[in-house]
Amino acid sequence: MSKDDKTERAAIGTRLRLAREMAGLSQAQVAKMLSLHRPSVSEIEAGRRKVSAEELSKLAGIYDVKLNWITGLDTGENSKEDEKIKLAARQLAKLKPKDYDRVIHLLSMLRSNRRERK
């Protein structure tokens, strides 16, 4: 595996950990949802285990975040949604800087179209 591949895998792992924490889940809970052993989730987040496209898609669904955000392909300049986030950013400017960053970050991660409720 090339150095670039390693770096990319580590970056994906980092974003997956962040998304999991933002969703309020533990590694054990995610492992159970995916029928994996807990260390597998830990390995994925550490960038030491390859994560399949199917697993990535499932994880994005569980965390309710954009798949493109996890893979790092989200440019953040593609839709009306981003315009709304910019509008929110103006209103959020009244918050403390740390809270502003936290909320903007969350909004930029969230999936636009959620699956229909079953």
Contacting residues toward other proteins, per CB under 8 A: 21-26, 28-29, 31-32, 37-38, 64, 81, 84-85, 87-88, 91-92, 94-96, 99, 102-103, 106-107, 110-114, 117
Nearer to other proteins, 10 or 92 (CB): 92
Angle at 71 between CA 117 and CA 107, to 5 degrees: 55
For residue 49, the SS3 value is coil
Q: How far is the CB of 48 from other proteins (least distance, A)?
A: 20
Nearer to other proteins, 57 or 112 (CB): 112
The Cα 104–Cα 65 span in angstroms is: 14
CA contacts within 13 A on the Cβ side of 27: 13
Nearer to other proteins, 5 or 21 (CB): 21
Q: Tokens 């994560």 sit at which residue?
A: 51
Q: How far is the CB of 68 from other proteins (least distance, A)?
A: 15
Nearer to other proteins, 43 or 81 (CB): 81
Distances from the Cα of 61 to the Cα of 68, 85, 87, 94, 109, angstroms: 12, 21, 26, 32, 12
Q: How far is the CB of 27 from other proteins (least distance, A)?
A: 10
Q: How far is the CB of 84 from other proteins (least distance, A)?
A: 6
